[in-house]
Structure 1
């Protein structure tokens, strides 16, 4: 019988759709902006797949930190070993991790983002393998499954999975909100892995050839932009080059909106995007995959929600990436939170990688 420590960070990811770029220390502001929790839903999606698995016993926390998700899907083989207060915090995550460590769990399965991974690792280190169900705004660490379904497969196949060293990254939240990506290595965790089911840590490319490629992509995008269309432009340095080419300053780690060469909105949240697209007949989305990981939706751009993608249409999602970045990404990943929409992307998508140059890239969802 495998003993699985199970933690849900109930507020993970709440800051994404409202443009906060993170929820740590900003839960009340996220709520004020209308954010709603979704980590429980992500956890339940994984747990639904585990209802058929045999030989698993879950140790968890009371209420929204685990018990509610297990109960919601009808899993009965679990034990509540920690009860947090009414308002959960990082302290509760660390305390629960310490209880799991004391009780000798075989794996800690958590639902959250980089902050949750860091809190758990700070207690268990390399003594207990950890695996994340992705639910945060930022997931730069390598301990996350590519989506909830993959997390379930890894847990169900724990007997045959191998363990690998995975980076736990510490992201400076204040710098991130200000538009600067400042990361440091927090530690090296052990993570169960079956090829293709666990993300790797994000890579950032800063080379002369990269800058030239970004410029070529920007020039081509400017030439093919349709007059009257509303363009939603995701985060990243490649998309930044496009906006800069058009004469504007890009929110590097946020979402901006342009129309007819004019900046309509900077650092837009989901609510703003819904308002701006409500009466538009032609909406297009320009996004770039996260380096090394390959996610085009569901990581760092949750403002571009399934509702926004549907308003634009899959055919109006434009993916851009430099050749160097593409060569290190075996496939593109889509994890928007809506599995039906994810499947509509099909098996492959065209990626603009230069001036009038594109590659066809495999898509997995």
Structure 2
């Protein structure tokens, strides 16, 4: 039986990630001014090209909001139900989803981030399943596949696999840009679910033991830091504790660069990181996975891009996390945007979880 899928793309999703804007809502012009390159279309093509031979009837939006992506993916037969304005807006996403509902589609697939997920949910609520191809900056909602390949698998099996109630999160981007995470539950969507293919929602761990573990990790990292080596310190409260141990003020939700106990750059974007790596070839990258979701790369730290990772060297990637976070994070994922680079990371990573203590954690690469 032919499956019917409504597909739409937010063309500017994730535009602010690599340039350090921590989100794109209301900041498209600034992202472009900083040299941001749109990548949401490429992410969608990665997923949809795997479905070009499947028995799926595609309904979509005209131009850059869907039709162009399907053509690039090798899907030359689709039905355009909605023509968006130029530039596209949140109202177009909602209107397109309503036309999909009227057409009786089995599934709504969107490519974007948390903002797009909210707009889709506003239109369809729990009437039909939805699924996100991840292309935003943060993606704290649990309605996304873990990467484009996993999205293709979920779309292919939708209708034959269970759906689960998954959180749609409302993240205050202005607070996020100022270094404060303010998120609330927006609603529960119906999402096709396969373990290890569908991402979980972000969890925050704040127990007293967790705080002691962060201190232990910070003490160990401060002890092993090498002179004349730059340290690219990723986002999160665990990595922030490392900065505090060095008597430096951290950018909680951004990327800082330190060397010899001094800050070389605060809240750095991809361009700044590449320039510093040209000047200082000895480098380490320190990141912490998102709690429960398990993403080491590709969620909230797109400044640490594939070019940055290759220039620094994957052998210089250091992952830190508390035992409590690791206990609630069964698997790690990487979704840098470069599948070949992701595979080079291998099937496991060593994670520093205390003072001179580490755990080996499995990395899953859904293909």
Please, what TM-score do these two structures have when normalized by structure 2?
A: 0.98
Separation of aligned partners in 1, 2:267 and 2:74: 40
Equivalences for residues 130-169 of structure 1 within 5 A: 130-169=130-169
| Aligned partners of 1:56 and 1:77 also within 8 Å | no
Where does residue 217 of structure 1 map in the other structure? Answer: 217
CA deviation vs aligned residue, 1:31-88 (integer Å, no higher than 9, x gap): 11110110000000001111132x2111000111111110112202310110112211
CA deviation vs aligned residue, 1:143-172 (integer Å, no higher than 9, x gap): 000000000001111232111000000001
Equivalences for residues 1-365 of structure 1 within 5 A: 1-53=2-54, 55-365=55-365
**SS of match in other structure, 1:151:** helix
**SS of match in other structure, 2:144:** coil
Separation of aligned partners in 2, 1:211 and 1:158: 41
Separation of aligned partners in 1, 2:304 and 2:273: 8
Shift, 1:103, TM fit: 1.1
Separation of aligned partners in 2, 1:73 and 1:164: 28
Shift, 1:138, TM fit: 1.2
**SS of match in other structure, 2:17:** helix
| Aligned partners of 1:131 and 1:144 also within 8 Å | yes
**SS of match in other structure, 1:14:** coil
Shift, 1:241, TM fit: 0.3
CA deviation vs aligned residue, 1:194-248 (integer Å, no higher than 9, x gap): 1110001100111111110000000000000011111000000000000000011
Mean CA deviation greater in 72-81 or 117-126 = 72-81
**SS of match in other structure, 1:315:** helix
**SS of match in other structure, 2:353:** strand
**SS of match in other structure, 1:17:** coil
Shift, 1:267, TM fit: 0.3
Separation of aligned partners in 1, 2:148 and 2:264: 35
Separation of aligned partners in 2, 1:91 and 1:36: 23
Q: CA RMSD in A?
A: 0.7
Separation of aligned partners in 1, 2:159 and 2:136: 28
Separation of aligned partners in 2, 1:272 and 1:131: 34
**SS of match in other structure, 1:264:** strand
Mean CA deviation greater in 152-161 or 246-255 = 152-161
Separation of aligned partners in 1, 2:227 and 2:279: 16
**SS of match in other structure, 1:191:** strand
Gap runs ≥5 in structure 1: none
**SS of match in other structure, 1:15:** coil
- How many residues are paired up? 364
| Aligned partners of 1:234 and 1:301 also within 8 Å | yes
Shift, 1:364, TM fit: 1.5
Separation of aligned partners in 1, 2:37 and 2:107: 29
Separation of aligned partners in 2, 1:231 and 1:110: 36
| Aligned partners of 1:62 and 1:84 also within 8 Å | yes
**SS of match in other structure, 2:212:** helix
